[in-house]
Amino acid sequence: MNGSLKVFAGQSHPELAHEICRHLAIPLGRSNTIKFSNENMMVQVDENVRGADVFVIQTSAPPVHQNIIELLIYIDALKHASAGRITAVIPYFPYIRSDKKDKPRISITARLMADLLQTAGADRVVTMDLHAPQAQGFFRIPVDHLQASPIIADYLLKQDLTNSVLVAGDAGEAKEVGGYANRLNLPMAIVDKRRYDDSDTAVATNLIGDVKGKNAIIVDDEVSTGGTLVEAARFLLAQGALSVTAAFTHAVLAGPAVERLNNSEISRVTFTNTVPLQGKESDKFNMLSVAEIFAKAIRRIHDGDSISALFR
């Protein structure tokens, strides 16, 4: 891309945006978002972007719908300011779990989000650990799907993994956890869980593999209310696991999640900063930063280089 590199950010996660810019050694672009008394918003970009290669950072965090609209307005403002190329950098993609029509008369809302981004004027999307990787097919523009596994695996390699086993929270996570197992040279097990309603908690019913006398590490893409994670930990301990820790990418941690995790027998919870904690704290929490990998992706995209090296 011939235009200058510029990075802007919505209001969802300013800490991550500033950290990404520090890795890029450029200032965060100047802009202003105003929310009017009627709850309408106006985004004004306060510097020239004509012909520039612009990246807008906005993750899916509360207030989710306000942040989605702010991102769309941001992209539209940049488009009409004649930006050369606009890339939406969305560490945690909104509505990504709504990726299929599994009930009558419902929306495939993740596809709707893709359509909205393209209609607003995005030329490219950079995101991380989609709930279902095939959701990249919802887009008719390039999507760079980054992975947190190198970051989490590097952290785990620094820990004592003696007598450890990796555990997939459900069958859908088995392939991803298999990748971790290969990186860490550890055995794996799979919790067979069933969801009987629309609640956030699934019930663990069977275990594929062996955790008896081992330290179990549950790996997942996201944790919302924590109910399923806590239930899985309880189930693993009942199956003879010595201890349970958890590692995942997106710390949504909605509703009673923090209280549940604090009161659970999970000894350590490791996750990345794709979503801001927004004041949620626990002695069990261990947060890893994804800023550097996003900065490297932005730099490589701007320079026209491959980002495949980031997947190792």
Q: Which among 76, 29, 33, 24 has a CA at the least distance from the CA of 48?
A: 29
Q: Which long-range contacts (CB under 8 A, 24 or more apart) does 64-67 make?
A: 64/94, 66/41, 67/10, 67/11, 67/12, 67/94
**Rounded Cα–Cα distance for residues 199 and 182 (Å):** 33
Is 193 one of the annotated active-site residues of the chain? yes
3-state secondary structure of 244: strand
Q: How many CA atoms lie within 13 A of 44 on its CB side?
A: 4
Structure tokens at 308: 């495949």
**Rounded Cα–Cα distance for residues 271 and 290 (Å):** 10
Per the residue annotation, which of 6, 103, 193, 214 is the catalytic one? 193
291-303 helix and 14-24 helix, angle to the nearest 10 degrees: 50
Q: Which residues are catalytic?
A: 193
